[in-house]
Amino acid sequence: MNLELFIARKIHFQTPAKKSKSNITKPAVRIAIAGIALGIAVMIISVGVITGFKHEIREKLIGFSSHIQITSLTNNNTFEMAPISFSATLVDSIKQIPEVRNTCFYCTKPAIIKTSNDFQGLAFNGVDNNYDWTFFKNNLKEGRLPDFSDTLPSKEILISRKIASMLNISVGDGILTYFIQSNVRVRKFTVSGIYETGLQDFDKMFMIGDLRQVQSLNGWNSDEVGGMNIWVKDFNKSEETAYEIFETTANKFEQHGSTYYTRTIRELQPQIFGWLALLDTNVIVILILMMLVAGFNMISGLLILILDKTNMIGVLKSIGLRDWSIRKIFLYQSCFLIGKGLLLGNIFGICICLIQEYFKIIPLDSSIYYVDTVPIILQPTAIIGLNIMAAIVSLLMLLIPSHVIAKISPAKSIRFE
């Protein structure tokens, strides 16, 4: 039988009538438990919010493009793209890569939308019929998605609510779009739908239309495009998938003599992903602070427990129990308190996260934060890891103050009141 654990359980689970009459011990223990509970709750909420926020921003960036893009190496990072072609064999090779979920061809072109009262410059993003509309379907506010299934180039376009509001455009309106080339060329499109993503810089930058319209404006053949969008099954594997695609396209030249240039969404939007990476630093600071708060709360609680049980410590020493065994008794009792605090903190933190996730009770200004409510993603592995880390740190911090037991004299402690 584990004597130290037995004594610790007797102390912790004794009936209220037999508990210490001290007016300090009970409040101090409750404060220590509350400190642990508050710390783990804040950690769970912080990790859930940051994980959710990063996921939302990342998915919106991917929604405007894709996980991976292949373009011509001669592109100069403008919306006016150089033509590139993909052989059927190359496309099949890319699609056979296990992590590739979907592909489509696209091309962007600078344009100006003009109404009777105003105008707005943006990029016409032409896509083919294989485009993954999931993102825009989830963010569609009015109308419907464009239909590119006809054999003729479609004149339907999708614009953002930001542009629609600026130019006073509604679903079903016909709008004149000017394309600046050697000669100004005009096309009239019909607004089939209006979307809003919250990324206002992107919302006012893109209109979505038929790829064949861009091919016609540029005088390209049907096999000439601006690039290929590639979506993968798992974002975390996009880097290695991009490398597989690079190996597939390496040392290959398309019909215009250009090589293929493969980039991930991280390379396409380095500033935003760099900003998201900085959020991890904030989380680390919060976690460290919360663990220190919880640890110091437990230290004060342990010292008060030792003070309250000074007589018992003297008796145990007088019958020959070693200092380390007595320290283990109080460490076991601290484990019970830490466990109770972690349980209460998990219940509180997870409940807050679930309420926000399902009921969206905390709104945000999307023009500042890019999302309209506080996003939450709960990951079981992260929660388990936080609990283990909090328990270990708290116990390690308790080893030092438990040394006080070694300095207690049996003769004096038995007479201590």
CA dihedral angle for residue 22, residue 24, residue 26, residue 28, rounded to 10 degrees: -150
Q: Identify the pLDDT of residue 24.
A: 62
Question: For the chain, what is the radius of gyration of the CA atoms?
Answer: 32
Here the tokens at position 119 are: 């105008």
H or E element that contains 4? helix 3-12
Q: Do 297 and 31 meet the contact criterion of CB atoms below 8 Å apart? A: yes
End-to-end CA distance of the chain: 31
Q: Do 224 and 215 meet the contact criterion of CB atoms below 8 Å apart? A: yes
Residue ranges in the chain whose pLDDT is less than 70: 1, 14-24, 256, 406-407, 409-417
The contacts found for 365-368 with CB under 8 angstroms, 24 or more apart, are 366/198, 366/200, 367/200
Q: Identify the pLDDT of residue 413.
A: 58
Model confidence over 264-274: pLDDT tens digits? 999 999 999 99
Report the distance separating Cα 28 and Cα 22, nearest Å. Answer: 11
Model confidence over 350-365: pLDDT tens digits? 999 999 999 999 999 8
Here the tokens at position 79 are: 């919306």
Region at 259 (left for phi over 0; alpha for psi -120 to 50; beta for the rest): beta
Report the distance separating Cα 369 and Cα 365, nearest Å. Answer: 6
Q: Identify the pLDDT of residue 415.
A: 58
The alpha helices in 102-171, defined as continuous H runs, are 134-138, 161-167
Asked whether the CA dihedral 388, 391, 393, 399 is positive or negative, the reply is negative
- Its pTM stands at 0.85
Name the residue among 382, 390, 309 with its Cα closest to residue 50: 382
Model confidence over 224-253: pLDDT tens digits? 999 999 999 999 999 999 999 999 998 777
Here the tokens at position 348 are: 């509180």
Pairing of strands 174-179, 224-225: unpaired
Here the tokens at position 319 are: 């019958």
**What is the amino acid identity at position 290?**
M
Q: Identify the pLDDT of residue 414.
A: 60
